[in-house]
Structure 1
Amino acid sequence: MATETVGELIHEAAEPHASGGLPQLDFATWPTQIFWLAVALVVLYYLMSRVALPRISETLEERADAIADDLDKAEEFRRRAADAEKAYEQALAEARSKAQAIAAETRAEIQTQVDAALAKADAEISARTAESEKRIREIRDEAAAAVITVATDTAGALIDAVLPEAQDAKAVASAVKARA
């Protein structure tokens, strides 16, 4: 009996559904469905307008402020970078001019040292040239004297070989000097 009662209850509960159709499409329930739809939309609108939308707009505003701050910072960094680039270019130009001045000064010092070394070398060369010319004159004079001596000796030997009794040393010497 208890099973029959449960079976009857199941059958009775299944009976309205067996009428064939969807309960949402039953015209008898539309007024309540429309009422609850309106209540749900009003509650949803209230929740969205009072809770969700202010949070979303606040988040969007914070994001817009953060983006604006980031853009301002980026503009400041760009300006600083441009200033740093100008300072770098100016420092580079100053360094180049200083380097050119140092190079010109160094060239002048080196040229002075080269000129001094050339003057010293020219003086040494002149002194050595004068000394060499003096030595060459001495050697030439010695050679000339040696040639005269050899010529005198050779002439004397020839005369002695050809005419031994006609040899006059003074005459031979004066004849050799006259030819030299």
Structure 2
Amino acid sequence: MPQFDFNTFPPQIAWLVITFIILYLVMSRFALPKVGGVIEQRTSRIAGDLDEASRLQQEATRSAELYATALAEARARAHIIHVEMRSQISAELEKERHGVEVELDTKLASAEARISATRLSALSDITEIAADSAREIILALTGDQTDPLLLRGTVENLKGV
């Protein structure tokens, strides 16, 4: 193998150094700047993306805070509306209940007056019916006609007993 021949080592080393220097110059002048540019471009793009993500995160946090504030305000307004409507409905129901109570009291008084009038009418009719019944019974038992005024007075005296 020629590369293991000690007589050809110095020229091989010389060509190795020359090739390495040429390769180093080509890489440092052409390839490495392009690779460095790509790396720098990616680094700046990643930094920009991180900045954008941070900005969006802050915006999302602000939006969440605004949402929470708006939600709290809406709940407070809903509670106020609920309390107002509840008190308004309670007032209307109380007014209606009072009106119904007045109407029922009026109907109750009217019914009591009718019952009282009917009772008095029935009591006055009872005296007359009792007197007529007594006269019919006396007539049936004795065959005598009794004075209706006398019987009415006797029945009225018995009512007090």
- Which residue matches 1:14? none
Code of the aligned partner of 1:66 = R
1:119 aligns with one of 86, 98, 112: 98
Code of the aligned partner of 2:56 = F
1:1-180 alignment runs, 5 A limit? 22-165=1-144, 167-180=146-159
Deviates more, 1:28-37 or 1:124-133: 28-37
| CA deviation after TM superposition for structure 1 residue 27, in Å | 2.3
- For 1:120-177, what per-residue CA distance to the aligned partner results, in whole angstroms no more than 9, with x for missing partners? 1111111110111111112212221222222111111122223343612111100111
**Structure with bigger gyration radius:** 1
- Indicate the percent of aligned positions where both proteins have the same amino acid: 33
3-state DSSP class of the match of 2:129? Answer: helix
Q: Is the 8 A contact 2:138 2:146 kept in 1?
A: yes
Looking at structure 2, the residues matched to 148 and 111 of structure 1 have their Cα atoms a distance apart, in angstroms, of 54
Deviates more, 1:85-94 or 1:61-70: 61-70
- For 1:74-102, what per-residue CA distance to the aligned partner results, in whole angstroms no more than 9, with x for missing partners? 11111111111111111001100110111
Looking at structure 2, the residues matched to 44 and 143 of structure 1 have their Cα atoms a distance apart, in angstroms, of 138
- Runs of 4 or more above 4 Å deviation: none
Normalised to the residue count of structure 1, the TM-score between the two structures is: 0.82
3-state DSSP class of the match of 1:167? Answer: coil
Q: Is the 8 A contact 2:134 2:151 kept in 1?
A: yes
- For 1:3-53, what per-residue CA distance to the aligned partner results, in whole angstroms no more than 9, with x for missing partners? xxxxxxxxxxxxxxxxxxx12222232222111111111111111222222
Deviates more, 1:67-76 or 1:141-150: 141-150
Structure 2 regions of 5+ residues with no counterpart?
none
Code of the aligned partner of 1:101 = I
Looking at structure 1, the residues matched to 143 and 61 of structure 2 have their Cα atoms a distance apart, in angstroms, of 115
- Which residue matches 1:4? none
